[in-house]
């Protein structure tokens, strides 16, 4: 059975376990939230941050989901929600003086992008 999508229904895409701090990704997501799909692509391609690549992949995925699943045109999509949450931490130890170990926590994040056709 094919689901009929409403024009105002939101289409989602997720990227989980990205090996990057959520603070760095949030700086990029604040720039694209509320913009059209094309504007977001232009911004993400030319911003000089390493966090742009996983966000760009997630935006592409959300647009592909909207085109394939809901039969929406990419030119009419808007990013209505862009969120990043903290993922599981990788716990490591760094050797320190006098045989001690110093804990290191390597952060990961989960990116959520929702697009909607207007």
pTM listed for this prediction = 0.89
Distance in angstroms (rounded) separating the CA atoms of residues 106 and 101: 16
Residue by residue, pLDDT tens for the chain (118 residues) are 556 666 578 999 999 999 999 999 999 999 999 999 999 999 999 999 999 999 999 999 999 999 999 999 999 999 999 999 999 999 999 999 999 999 999 999 999 999 999 8
pLDDT of amino acid 6: 62
Residue with tokens 């949030």, as numbered in its chain = 26
Domains of the chain (ranges, CATH numbers): 11-117 (3.90.470.10)
pLDDT of amino acid 48: 96
Residue with tokens 């603070």, as numbered in its chain = 23
Nearest partner of 54 among 22, 81, 80, 76, judged by Cα: 22
Task: Please tell me whether residue 46 adopts helix, strand or coil conformation.
Answer: helix
CA distances from residue 73 to 5, 7, 58, 98, 110 in whole angstroms, order as listed: 13, 11, 17, 62, 26
pLDDT of amino acid 9: 87
Residue 88 is given by DSSP the state P
């Amino acid at each position: 059975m094919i689901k009929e999508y409403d024009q105002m229904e939101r289409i989602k895409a997720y990227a989980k376990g990205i090996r990057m701090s959520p603070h760095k990704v949030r700086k990029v997501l604040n720039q694209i939230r509320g913009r059209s799909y094309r504007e977001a692509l232009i911004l993400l391609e030319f911003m000089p941050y390493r966090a742009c690549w996983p966000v760009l992949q997630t935006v592409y995925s959300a647009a592909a989901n909207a085109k394939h699943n809901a039969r929406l045109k990419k030119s009419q999509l808007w990013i209505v929600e862009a969120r990043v949450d903290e993922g599981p931490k990788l716990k490591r130890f760094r050797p320190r003086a006098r045989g001690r170990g110093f804990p290191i926590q390597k952060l990961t994040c989960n990116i959520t992008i929702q697009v909607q056709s207007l």
